[in-house]
Amino acid sequence: MYEGAVQDLIDELGRLPGVGPKSAQRIAFHLLAADPADVRRLADALVEVKARVQFCTVCGNVSQEELCRVCRDPRRVPSVICVVEEPKDVVAIERTREFRGRYHVLGGAINPIDNVGPDDLRISELMGRLADGTVTEVILATDPNVEGEATSTYLARLLVPMGLRVTRLASGLPVGGDLEYADEVTLGRAFEGRRQISA
Amino acid sequence: MYEGAVQDLIDELGRLPGVGPKSAQRIAFHLLAADPADVRRLADALVEVKARVQFCTVCGNVSQEELCRVCRDPRRVPSVICVVEEPKDVVAIERTREFRGRYHVLGGAINPIDNVGPDDLRISELMGRLADGTVTEVILATDPNVEGEATSTYLARLLVPMGLRVTRLASGLPVGGDLEYADEVTLGRAFEGRRQISA
């Protein structure tokens, strides 16, 4: 409907996840009216990200070098690996400043509907990292949903027989939440995982 | 939180209208995993749109030449001008195939809250187009909201004394809609604008 370049941009924007035709149009007109330097910066950021960003050869996290920031850091504890689905989970956990070990990014979760099986995840790479005996604990931090649980169950079956300490992040009530509004499964998990308070 | 280029891209995407930090992150990771040629195409589309797209010197619509597609087309009726707020309104009206005249894009609507007054709109350019007497009808097709109505009222006050036929798009029930769910204002307008059916 639009002339050449405008329609091309709307089409390209519309291919992005979560951007429908209306949003694509709105973004395109925003960019048409924007400072050319701003648009240039966005275009450059796109080119740069493909040219410079790779995946860490050890943990699979996004990285600008062969090893990611965490794997490069000698202060990180080498005996604990936290297994997550995606690089964004690494960022979420780093934000807590609770974890001083290393990560392993699977690149997804087992999901038969989307045809993602264990062989599509970076599980053999994880096994490779466990071979030399440095790692003593594996924390399974996949998402607390059906796919994440299935992935953790699958991994636990592989890892527990190897004599490793295998842990799963606690499920329960979100801090700052309201008990009344918790769903039954979460509330059930909160009961199941209740802790004794010492006097 | 991410290394250099990834964070730069998330920041740039997050500046787009309707794209929050979570969406920016999701789009960035989608692009990281995407075919480099696809990302290149998006970057090129951004650069192209700024390099090639300008605004029609007559009507203010987006265009790749000095005159837009409508203003270049000799089959378009020169005596009727349809006044709209934005280029996307031109596209919406063109889609109906109802209108064979020309357009005038104001570039917005009068909105005191956002500090947009009549002088910020392309009203003097509209007056210039009306000077030679070719135009006999001006259709006010601004949005049917407070700002659009204010803009149309303002324009009508200028144009009616010039002896032009000035019309406003009909308000009423949307076709395919459900009377029960129409808001009171729309339903009121539908009564106000009711038409007699000839036997």
Cα distances (angstroms) measured from residue B72 to each of A3, A20, A69, A94, B63: 13, 31, 57, 58, 10
| Pairwise pLDDT comparison (A121 vs B197), residue with the higher score | A121
pLDDT for position B199? 64
pLDDT, one tens digit per residue, over A21-61 is: 889 999 998 998 888 899 999 999 999 998 888 899 999 99
Tell me the shortest Cα–Cα distance from B12 to chain A, in angstroms.
Answer: 6
Nearest to B45 by CA among A17, A11, A18: A11
Report the alpha-carbon distance of residue B114 to residue B133 in Å, rounded. Answer: 34
Same-domain check for residues A85 and A122: yes
Same-domain check for residues B118 and B138: yes
Give whichever of A17-21, A125-129, A191-195, B181-185 has the largest mean pLDDT: A125-129
SS3 B62: strand
pLDDT, one tens digit per residue, over A122-145 is: 999 999 999 999 999 999 999 988
Same-domain check for residues A101 and A157: yes
Tell me the shortest Cα–Cα distance from A87 to chain B, in angstroms.
Answer: 9
Same-domain check for residues B161 and B179: no
Instruction: Please give the share of chain B, as a percent, with pLDDT higher than 70.
Output: 98
Domain-located, residue B49: no
Q: What is the mean pLDDT of residues B124-132?
A: 95
SS3 B116: strand
Q: What is the mean pLDDT of residues A2-26?
A: 90
**Minimum-distance CB partner of A31 among B1, B49, B86:** B49
| Pairwise pLDDT comparison (B101 vs A33), residue with the higher score | B101
pLDDT for position A59? 96
**Is the confidence at residue B1, as pLDDT, over 80?**
no
Instruction: Determine, for residues A40 and B47 on separate chains, whether the beta-carbon distance falls below 8 Å.
Output: yes
Residue B106's CATH number = 3.40.1360.10
Same-domain check for residues B114 and B183: no
- Which chain A residue has the Cα nearest residue B26? A17
Instruction: Determine, for residues B31 and A40 on separate chains, whether the beta-carbon distance falls below 8 Å.
Output: no
Same-domain check for residues A152 and A191: no
pLDDT, averaged across chain B? 90
Same-domain check for residues A199 and A127: no
pLDDT-derived band of residue B69, with 50, 70 and 90 as boundaries?
A: very high
Structure tokens at B56: 């029609």
pLDDT-derived band of residue B174, with 50, 70 and 90 as boundaries?
A: confident
Same-domain check for residues A104 and A160: yes
Same-domain check for residues A108 and A163: yes
**Minimum-distance CB partner of A45 among B12, B87, B91:** B12
pLDDT-derived band of residue B172, with 50, 70 and 90 as boundaries?
A: confident
Q: In this prediction, does ipTM exceed 0.90?
A: no
pLDDT, averaged across chain A? 90
For chains A and B, CB pairs below 8 A equal: 149
Domain-located, residue B30: no
Domain-located, residue B52: no
Q: What is the mean pLDDT of residues B166-181?
A: 83
pLDDT for position A13? 94
- Which chain B residue has the Cα nearest residue A49? B5
- Count of structural domains within chain B: 2
Domain-located, residue A3: no
Instruction: Please give the share of chain B, as a percent, with pLDDT higher than 90.
Output: 62
- Side chain identity at A81, as an amino acid letter? I
pLDDT, one tens digit per residue, over A142-162 is: 998 899 999 999 999 999 999
Same-domain check for residues B187 and B123: no
Asked if B162 and B105 touch (Cβ cutoff 8 Å), the reply is no
Same-domain check for residues A158 and A99: yes
pLDDT for position A11? 93
pLDDT for position A95? 86
Tell me the shortest Cα–Cα distance from A148 to chain B, in angstroms.
Answer: 18
Instruction: Determine, for residues A5 and B64 on separate chains, whether the beta-carbon distance falls below 8 Å.
Output: yes
The strand pairing partners of A80, in sequence order, are A137
Domain-located, residue A181: yes
Residue numbers of the domain that contains B139: 74-168
pLDDT-derived band of residue A199, with 50, 70 and 90 as boundaries?
A: low
Domain-located, residue B9: no
Q: What is the mean pLDDT of residues B93-122?
A: 93
**Minimum-distance CB partner of B46 among A39, A49, A94:** A39
Domain-located, residue A134: yes
Q: Which residues in chain A are contacts of B87 at CB distance < 8 A?
A: 2, 29
Domain-located, residue B150: yes
Report the alpha-carbon distance of residue A91 to residue B166 in Å, rounded. Answer: 59
Q: What is the mean pLDDT of residues A190-194?
A: 81
Same-domain check for residues A109 and A123: yes
